[in-house]
Amino acid sequence: MNNMRTLQISDDLDPNSSEGRRVLTISDGLIERGHEVTIVTALKNPIDKETIENLIDPKIQVIWHEPFFRFSKFSYSPKLYSILFDHDFDLIHAHSYRHYGTYVGSLLRLKKGVPFVMSPYGSISYESSPLFTHLYLLQDFLTRKYPVRYPDKILAETMYERNQIIDFGGDPEKIDVVYRDVDTTIFKKTPDLSFDKEPPVLFLGRVTPIKGIELIIDALPSVNRKINLWIAGPVENQAYLKKLQRRIKENSVSDRVRFLGKVPYNDVPRLYSSALTLVLPSFYENLGGVLLEAQACECPGITLDVGGMAEIIRDHETGFILRERSPELLAEKINLLADDAILKARMGSLGREFILSGFSTDVYVDRVLESYTKALSKV
């Protein structure tokens, strides 16, 4: 492929976020392969701008725009279309279906004929955020689903998401399944933090109802040897936090649960390496990136059979998939790992091999470029 000028559209360029890492990984990979990259992103505050620009390859141009208003994940920037219309690109890649910039990208596809690629990252489903269902419905009415109706390629992260997109009105012929990558040079087994005598059970993610953290708390009384639970991640819902704290008291495990808050990205591999297992008990997940990262660090994962979980963890080989939402069943799987060091080590080793074989960064960027080539040929 000859030199290509790409525009990456993302409202979230935080390198600690899943979306931000995908955008930066793709952009770095394009630069390494001799292509040009421009990123357009929303300005949240000057501190973020300075921090992010210091992390970005100087060959990447960044266009910042300030939203007219922002509400949670929703923002509106009326000047964005005119700003981008005056630039020339060979291809536009919009990240996350729900961002306003993605709608602008689809308009540019219609008005200027620029090939348009979109990565939803699980954001199409109403199930992913029941709290905002009515806002999602309004958004889809106002945008007429242009980003799904008029892309040249949609990059689904799982087969599960591919089926969601088809149900939402997406053309099956335009959907490629491209599993996200794991940077195995960062995510690998490292010296642990040794906070506890016994390796703890770990939850890593947003503290919000859809994550279902109460399942781990309810399982804790049945876990052997009073193994502790670490809950790492930003609190997004204070009412839910209070609910968890009540649940902890009711289960008499106040001395066994630690809230670590948001953990710096570079410290995350040490958390995985310190843990007995990572438990992801979500009610909904498209692709649980933390499960991929944990396996890369030789930490077995335990999750529910929801979304695309069965695609990214090998049941009874690299971890366990629970077929029902049962505290007793979860405790049983935790106890198996706690009581059998050989089993834990074997699962950890197989998990690392699994990630190395199918989720490397080079493979990921090459697959994205293959989809770009297909998109370019359709215009």
- Residue-wise pLDDT for 159-176, tens only, equals 999 999 999 999 999 999
Say which amino acid occupies 36.
E
The Cα 173–Cα 165 span in angstroms is 11
Q: What CATH number does residue 160 fall under?
A: 3.40.50.2000
- Do 163 and 221 lie in one domain? The reply is no
- Do 37 and 175 lie in one domain? The reply is yes
- Do 279 and 321 lie in one domain? The reply is yes
> Would you say 206 and 285 are in contact if contact means Cβ atoms under 8 Å apart?
no
For the record, the structure tokens of 236 come out as 């997004």
Residue 151 lies in a domain: yes
Residue indicated by tokens 């971890």: 319
Q: What is the pLDDT of residue 303?
A: 98
- Do 124 and 247 lie in one domain? The reply is no
Residue 87 lies in a domain: yes
Residue 67 lies in a domain: yes
- Residue-wise pLDDT for 238-268, tens only, equals 999 999 999 999 999 999 999 999 998 889 9
> Would you say 227 and 200 are in contact if contact means Cβ atoms under 8 Å apart?
yes
Nearest in space to 150 (alpha carbons), one of 113, 99, 95, 121: 113
Residue 32 lies in a domain: yes
Domain that holds residue 309: 201-358
> Would you say 352 and 295 are in contact if contact means Cβ atoms under 8 Å apart?
yes
Phi-psi group of 226: left, alpha or beta (phi > 0 → left; psi -120 to 50 → alpha; rest → beta)? left
Q: What is the pLDDT of residue 52?
A: 86
- Do 268 and 226 lie in one domain? The reply is yes
Nearest in space to 273 (alpha carbons), one of 171, 371, 188: 188
3-state secondary structure of 193: coil
The Cα 275–Cα 232 span in angstroms is 12
Q: What is the pLDDT of residue 196?
A: 58
- Do 93 and 241 lie in one domain? The reply is no
**Nearest 5°: phi and psi at 92?**
-115, 130
> Would you say 189 and 273 are in contact if contact means Cβ atoms under 8 Å apart?
yes
- Do 238 and 287 lie in one domain? The reply is yes
What is the length of the chain?
A: 379
Residue 190 lies in a domain: no
- Do 269 and 301 lie in one domain? The reply is yes
Residue 186 lies in a domain: no
Residue indicated by tokens 């909904």: 284
Beta-bridged to residue 279, according to DSSP, are 302
Number of folded domains that form the chain: 2
> Would you say 266 and 278 are in contact if contact means Cβ atoms under 8 Å apart?
no
Q: Quick one: average pLDDT of 225-230?
A: 93
Residue 166 lies in a domain: yes
Residue 192 lies in a domain: no
Please give the helix or strand (H or E) that residue 40 lies within, else none.
Answer: strand 36-42
- Do 243 and 172 lie in one domain? The reply is no
- Residue-wise pLDDT for 213-226, tens only, equals 999 999 999 998 88
The Cα 231–Cα 200 span in angstroms is 10
- Do 241 and 173 lie in one domain? The reply is no
- Residue-wise pLDDT for 131-162, tens only, equals 788 889 999 999 999 999 999 999 999 999 99
Alpha-carbon separation of residue 204 from 183, 213, 282, 344 (angstroms): 17, 10, 11, 19
- Do 224 and 259 lie in one domain? The reply is yes
The set of residues, in sequence order, having a beta carbon less than 8 Å from that of 326 and lying 6+ positions away, is none
- Do 149 and 233 lie in one domain? The reply is no
